[in-house]
Amino acid sequence: MRYEKPQTVAEAARLLTGEKGLSRILAGGTDVLVQLKAGLVEPDLVVDIKALPGVRSIVAEAGGFRIGAAVSNAQLGEDKAVRALWPGVVEAANLIGSTQVQGRATMVGNLCNASPAADAVPALVAAGAVARVAGPGAARDVPVEKIPTGPGKTKLKRGEFITSIFLPARPPRSADAYLRFIPRTEMDIAVASAAVSLTLDEDGRIAAARVALGAVAPTVLLVEAAAKAILGSRLEDPALEALAAACSAAASPIDDKRGTVEFRKDVVGVLAKRAARIAYTRAGGQS
């Protein structure tokens, strides 16, 4: 196994494209190293992206933020400006693992590990975040929900990798929230999760909404019917019930050791309701 730490994007792309065997990109390593230790993957090449220019910084851009691919979740959590604009994204990223894991884990790693239960991803999807993909060709921007294609699989082509995530600007009276269900209080993996991002009009009615669900399908789901269910509402009970019902209906989970189909369908609706209420309050809505 070879370990490389390229200093430029071009060099990283060249290394990854040139490798004939199996290669793995290394960000925080909190998935990769665990998989190596368990013998799940035996790569020939590991490319550490942490020395690429700009990957460790958070930069304001067009009213939003560009977050480097190697920014740890701990670093993200300490950024007051990002927290103020996208509290749901930051709370989702900060739920991952423990203090030790937070010091290394990244949102991009979370996204590219492509677990349906990844915590940061539903919040990024609800936020309409965009990933910047580099590789042998020109860089391109891809909405985050387009990156994972199934458990452990992404749309990234050979030699491609993500250099940053862009969180867009928001109108006033906007906020987001993320909730997951785990049987314990921490150090666990989501059995179901929901992220809600919304913008209110001046009357406190929901003018725009995005609802994303985790751990209830092979990839994170962006559920338009769920968003529609609360549009124009002030989250009155019927709207909340319609939101929950739309989420339960959209979910197509499996039975496994962590939960049953029935449980996941029920709970994802409950989480969506609760996340919507938090986002609504954060956006200044009075319920």
Ligand X SMILES: Cc1cc2nc3c(=O)[nH]c(=O)nc-3n(C[C@H](O)[C@H](O)[C@H](O)COP(=O)(O)OP(=O)(O)OC[C@H]3O[C@@H](n4cnc5c(N)ncnc54)[C@H](O)[C@@H]3O)c2cc1C
Binding stretches for ligand X (CB under 6 A): 24-32, 34, 49, 69, 95-97, 101, 104-106, 108-110, 112-113, 118-119, 156, 161-162
- Binder of residue 109, out of another protein, ligand X, none (CB less than 5 to 8 A by kind): ligand X
Looking at the Cβ atoms of 26 and 200, the one nearer to ligand X is 26
Among 57, 260, 284, 287, binds another protein (CB under 8 A): 260
Q: How would DSSP label each residue in 34-49?
A: HHHHTTS---SEEEE-
The CA angle 178-181-182, to the nearest 5 degrees, is: 130
Looking at the Cβ atoms of 37 and 80, the one nearer to another protein is 37
- Binder of residue 122, out of ligand X, another protein, none (CB less than 5 to 8 A by kind): none
169 SS3 class: coil
The string over 201-237, giving b where at least 16 C-beta atoms fall within 10 Å of a residue's C-beta and e elsewhere, is: eeebebbebbbbbbbbbbbbbbbeebbebbeebebee
Among 51, 142, 207, 270, binds another protein (CB under 8 A): 270
Residue 237 Cβ, how far from another protein at the closest point, in Å? 14
Q: Kindly tell me the burial class for residue 157, based on how many C-beta atoms sit within 10 Å of its own C-beta (0-12, 13-18, 19 or more).
A: exposed
Q: Strands of 37-158 (E only): list them.
A: 45-48, 58-61, 64-68, 130-134, 140-143, 148-150, 153-154
Each residue 125-164 as x (binds another protein by CB under 8 A) or -, in order, gives: ----------------------------------------
In angstroms, the CA 4 to CA 218 distance is 32
Looking at the Cβ atoms of 162 and 240, the one nearer to ligand X is 162
Among 80, 185, 202, 286, binds another protein (CB under 8 A): 185
Residue 244 Cβ, how far from another protein at the closest point, in Å? 10
- Binder of residue 47, out of ligand X, another protein, none (CB less than 5 to 8 A by kind): none
Interface with another protein includes 186 (CB under 8 A)?
Answer: yes
Instruction: Please choose, from the candidates 208, 167, 161, 202, the residue with its C-alpha nearest in 3D space to the C-alpha of residue 49.
Output: 161
The CA angle 25-140-49, to the nearest 5 degrees, is: 20
Looking at the Cβ atoms of 17 and 281, the one nearer to ligand X is 17
Each residue 10-39 as x (binds another protein by CB under 8 A) or -, in order, gives: ----------------------------xx
CA 223 to chain centroid, in Å, comes to: 15
> Which structure tokens are listed for 155?
């749309």
Is 122 within 8 Å of 220 (Cβ atoms)?
A: yes
Interface with another protein includes 184 (CB under 8 A)?
Answer: yes
Pick out residues in 190-209 that bind another protein (CB under 8 A).
Answer: 191
95 SS3 class: helix
Which stretches of the chain bind another protein, using CB under 8 A? Answer: 38-39, 181, 183-189, 191, 257-260, 262-263, 266-267, 270
